[in-house]
Chain A
């Protein structure tokens, strides 16, 4: 009996030790020396050291839905167009494009000398294959709507109603790629920069179907960099792609990107010289904001309070307007967030395309401006209409920033309207479920743009009404969106979209704007040209340089 115990105990020890052994041998082979790992001595001059704040779950361009994965793929692969430093689409795999007069047919001509990392040429057929795989329910993931919403017969193909040859993509020869889209889409070239619009080498894909994109050798590259190492939990390393058509303009030979989830760890590593860039959390901004390395940037992501019009209290418009006008987003920006985010006066983030080179925000101006006196009157009015003083709850996800925002709103409503709003915290998916079920009064919610056009937001509130979008339904709104979608005059189209934002926020008060997301960061002064696109594939290293 004793012997048996000892043996089993030894067995367990052996098992554990062998597990550790395999790990340390793997670790040793990865080449990091055991000497002098302390301080910043590991850093070499030709490597840019960066990080992501979460895992890199997968790098299958057809399937992935994760923005960190988008960032990696955007640097190792490339679409017909690519966003430049100023977020404008410029020709990449394509050399030029011809758009038909009705705006429904795009004929791309591919560049000469474009190759996959295995030396095979990138052909128009690769685009046809890539896009079809991206719409095929067997191979694609849940992000396929970004293709099927635009391409003729895309949805029908996904639903199995038509065969691949009926879908609006064709490759008459190796260099010509033709796309038929459903409606005139002024931002379509921007879409082709997105990772879901990338080409796929079908022969390679078929060979590696089961683990496509799961390790560096299971993916082909046609972008500025190639992947040399990939571990979802610890990071990726990139090396300059010497097959890339524009390699003369790619400056940094190596990029090492780690996964660092803890903000204070990243800051320590930056201060220790082991990172060239770090995002600052709001608590730390004041200590660093006067340094030359400090900067802020924004992305196309707006936060707002979604009111539920299906609720017996908030179906009252005066009450909604009172809530909307009785807090000051600029205090939220300066004191609570303090991280480069900007106070919102509307839904569409600043910098988003308007018309004639003007941004939507510049054309529209402020839609909602805080006005406490007016809010108090509206509140009284609303209570009279309702016949009683209501109890209110605000739904929020268990995320530090969202909870801080909720606490801020709670305190402002208490101060300005004299009401006690109860916070209801749920895990993220719990909040989504609760909203879908319509079981809420108001909730803090957000939307990140899929493309550089206000339609990416405005399209969300069209009929049929859903509880998730506050059960809002408005005929005038629907008509404006419908017109805008088939409008070929860009100025008229923009005017229609400007009007929809007015309806949504001002006339109907379905949302209360909070802020446009941004981030405060520190960046090694030697590093220049590190581009963060506010939508699409966020991080772009192609233009980066290092002294």
Chain B
């Protein structure tokens, strides 16, 4: 197993290298430059070339890439073009707090509520409860979350005046965005839990456990839930990463200075160093999440062997 983890860690480094290389070269193919706004687009080519030179953007792309990698190894992610001359790492550190807090809250609440709904639905299969749970899940996935966010803001924030309409000023201001984010998580967790529980409850070993006289609570916790967790974990992994790295629309609706907008905005304005910074952050989180999930498979079900199909 140790060997497997070592191999995986080596793989992670290689994967990150490939991702950053590809992203760098693809990004340079994007139309325009960091200075592409109306005024500068109109400037004569000589003037624009001069400005590119100032930022070293006229050098061959591979040259720029080697420079970038060199600086990265020294821990320097470069300066943002859009947020003129601010270090990318500072901006990311400043902005990740709100996004991560919202993401983690939404994850905890969403998972808890989703699990409970999913379990109820499975045990009361084809009952009213089951249908209600499914309806919630369907609403959660087929209505975009910015619609929920706007509705919460309008009713809870403006009409009832119980919670702040927007801004990031106190703990109260995290509640509405958390709920808006959690709805999607509830839908995913409830749906998969229900499905897996139905599956697991039909398995022979649950029957056996029942036959052996184990209490239903024990059965659920030790056998059923444990096994139902594998798919839930699998889908939740990427969700966790995207929750932590923020949601563009939710942060926009609630006017939160999070990291969500950086992903899209930096690409729109060709802020090269920022694109790289955010991509690296996302990929690092993602590959480690994938590793953790793979290792958790083994913990949940010790029979699962990832290292190789044959010796299993």
The reply to whether A58 and B84 form a contact with Cβ atoms under 8 Å apart is yes
The reply to whether A429 and B101 form a contact with Cβ atoms under 8 Å apart is no
- The CA of A30 and the CA of B169, in the complex, are separated in Å by 8
Q: Which A residues lie within 8 Å of B2 (CB)? A: 1
Closest B residue, CB atoms, query A13: B104
Which of A263-271, A378-386, A493-501, A523-531 contacts the other chain? A263-271
Chain A 143-185 near chain B by CB (<8 Å), digits 1 or 0: 1010000000000001100000000000000000000000000
**Which 6 pairs show the lowest CB-CB distances between chains A and B?**
A429-B32, A23-B97, A233-B257, A58-B84, A433-B31, A234-B257
- The CA of A448 and the CA of B39, in the complex, are separated in Å by 9
- The CA of A235 and the CA of B194, in the complex, are separated in Å by 45
The reply to whether A137 and B170 form a contact with Cβ atoms under 8 Å apart is no
Instruction: Give the distance to chain B from A143, nearest Cβ to Cβ, in Å.
Output: 7
Partner of A274, one of B83, B100, B165: B165
Within 8 A of A (CB), among B6-51: 30-33, 35-43, 47-48, 50-51
The reply to whether A27 and B35 form a contact with Cβ atoms under 8 Å apart is no
The reply to whether A34 and B171 form a contact with Cβ atoms under 8 Å apart is yes
Which of A14-22, A320-328, A472-480 contacts the other chain? A14-22
Q: Does A2 contact B (CB under 8 A)?
A: yes
Q: Which A residues lie within 8 Å of B163 (CB)? A: 38
The reply to whether B39 and A1 form a contact with Cβ atoms under 8 Å apart is no
Report the tally of A-B residue pairs with Cβ distances under 8 A: 176
Q: Does A430 contact B (CB under 8 A)?
A: yes
SS class, residues of chain B in contact with chain A: helix
Q: Which B residues lie within 8 Å of A58 (CB)? A: 83-86
Partner of B173, one of A37, A269, A435: A37
Q: Does A419 contact B (CB under 8 A)?
A: no
Enumerate chain A interface residues (CB-CB to B < 8 A).
1-2, 4-5, 8-9, 12, 16, 19-20, 22-24, 26-27, 30, 32-34, 37-39, 42, 55, 57-58, 60, 63-65, 137-138, 141-143, 145, 158-159, 210-211, 214, 231-234, 258-262, 264-265, 268-269, 271-272, 274, 426-430, 432-436, 446-448, 450, 460, 468
Most chain A CB atoms below 10 A, which of B31, B40, B100, B164: B31
Q: Does B150 contact A (CB under 8 A)?
A: yes
Given A1-B2, A60-B85, A65-B35: A27 and B169 interface contact (C-beta under 8 Å): yes
Chain B 165-199 near chain A by CB (<8 Å), digits 1 or 0: 11111111100000000000000000000000000
Q: Does B225 contact A (CB under 8 A)?
A: no
Instruction: Give the distance to chain A from B301, nearest Cβ to Cβ, in Å.
Output: 14
Instruction: Give the distance to chain A from B41, nearest Cβ to Cβ, in Å.
Output: 4
Q: Does B109 contact A (CB under 8 A)?
A: no
Chain B 140-175 near chain A by CB (<8 Å), digits 1 or 0: 000000000010011001100111111111111100
The reply to whether A268 and B97 form a contact with Cβ atoms under 8 Å apart is no
- The CA of A468 and the CA of B84, in the complex, are separated in Å by 27
The reply to whether A145 and B43 form a contact with Cβ atoms under 8 Å apart is yes
Instruction: Give the distance to chain B from A459, nearest Cβ to Cβ, in Å.
Output: 10
Closest A residue, CB atoms, query B267: A427
The reply to whether A268 and B83 form a contact with Cβ atoms under 8 Å apart is no
- The CA of A434 and the CA of B244, in the complex, are separated in Å by 36
Instruction: Give the distance to chain B from A457, nearest Cβ to Cβ, in Å.
Output: 11
Q: Does B127 contact A (CB under 8 A)?
A: no
